[in-house]
Amino acid sequence: MELPAITAPDVDARRAAVARHAELDVPDGALGRLAELGVWLAAAQGVCPPRPLARPRLVVIAGDHGIAAAGVSAHAPGDTLRQIAGIQEHTAPVGVLAAVAGVSMRVVDVALDTDEGDQRRIRRGSGRIDREDALTADEVDRALAVGRALADEEVDAGADLLVPASLGVGATTPAATLVAALTGTEPVAVIGRGSGIDDAGWMRKAAAVRDALRRARPYVRDPLALLRVAGGADIAALTGFCVQAALRRTPVLLDGLVVGAAALLADELAKGAREWWLYAQRSPDPAMAPVEEHLGLSPVLDLGIRLGDGTGAVAAVPLLQMAVRLLGEAGHA
């Protein structure tokens, strides 16, 4: 996969933002992480003070997973469609918070296991990764292209902050497998409760990740092969989305394990992409700890939210808006 080099965020704008904060009539460092957020946005936008976010955009990429049949989720296979309806009707938590934070939303079906499909759909559900490949090589390429095209569409329409998100029953199982493969973490250390599984479900999930990881380990140095063997169409599309956002010099808020796994793969494919990402909030899922360490990103918030649909990231958007206002409007000494 041939990609252009990632351009780093603007160093001069970053320095100007740091200097501007140093001139504020507050003790040095008193604004803590809030000041850092403004500096990050200034560098991403290439201007100081940064512009207020005019069109933050949440893009939920949905897909079903064959591994759900192994009983790794508290939700039944096929429940993804119901969850999508909650987002579209603004009754799901992320829909409620997005309205408060001024974030518009879009849901894209890349692998739902339903009769009627979005034009972006790659296939009906991804393969059961403990026994078979998630995708074909061609499907990996197509899913990556879909994710990149989605990022392009949003940036071209004026999005100045992108929030990739995931929805799909069983999706944290391939995500945990990919994290374990890419970071060299033992399977038992990446198994979380996900959708709220009980002890028996946890054991089923651990067995599924163990078996999938056994199949994936020969490909740890090949991100595209990992997506084929142990990923999914949604994770591949999210990977392409994160890559293209960085190529388009657009800041991204990361949140949730599935997006975290995609970010690991995106940074493998496009070195330096992580410079364009902010880790919105610490997930209680144990697999996110190695993601955080591997990418060198520290969370803005620690809310204990373990949803993958962008809820935690949306909650951080008002803080970014506050950071922008501070740089632009706070009085100087």
Percent over 90 (pLDDT), the chain: 77
C-alpha to C-alpha distance for 169 and 255, rounded to whole angstroms:
17
Q: Amino acid letter at 92?
A: A
C-alpha to C-alpha distance for 121 and 123, rounded to whole angstroms:
6
pLDDT tens, residue by residue, 17-65 = 999 998 888 888 889 999 999 999 999 999 999 999 999 999 999 999 9
Question: In DSSP terms, which residues pair with 109 in a beta bridge?
Answer: 62
Cα–Cα distances (Å) from 206 to 127, 189, 210, 211, 300, in that order, read: 18, 9, 6, 9, 29
Collect all residues with Cβ–Cβ distance below 8 Å to 142 and sequence separation of at least 6: 122
Closest by CA position to 36, among listed 278, 273, 246: 278
Instruction: Specify the pLDDT at position 192.
Output: 82
C-alpha to C-alpha distance for 257 and 135, rounded to whole angstroms:
20
Collect all residues with Cβ–Cβ distance below 8 Å to 323 and sequence separation of at least 6: 34, 35, 37, 38, 41
pLDDT tens, residue by residue, 108-141 = 999 999 888 778 999 999 999 999 999 999 999 9
C-alpha to C-alpha distance for 225 and 230, rounded to whole angstroms:
8
Element (H, E) at 326: helix 311-329
pTM value?
0.95
Q: Amino acid letter at 302?
A: D
Domain boundaries, the chain: 11-50, 56-317
Instruction: Specify the pLDDT at position 81.
Output: 85
Is the distance from CB of 179 to CB of 291 less than 8 angstroms?
Answer: yes
Collect all residues with Cβ–Cβ distance below 8 Å to 138 and sequence separation of at least 6: none
* The CATH fold of domain 56-317: Rossmann fold (3.40.50)
Coil, helix or strand at residue 101:
helix
Q: What is the average per-residue pLDDT within 140-165?
A: 98
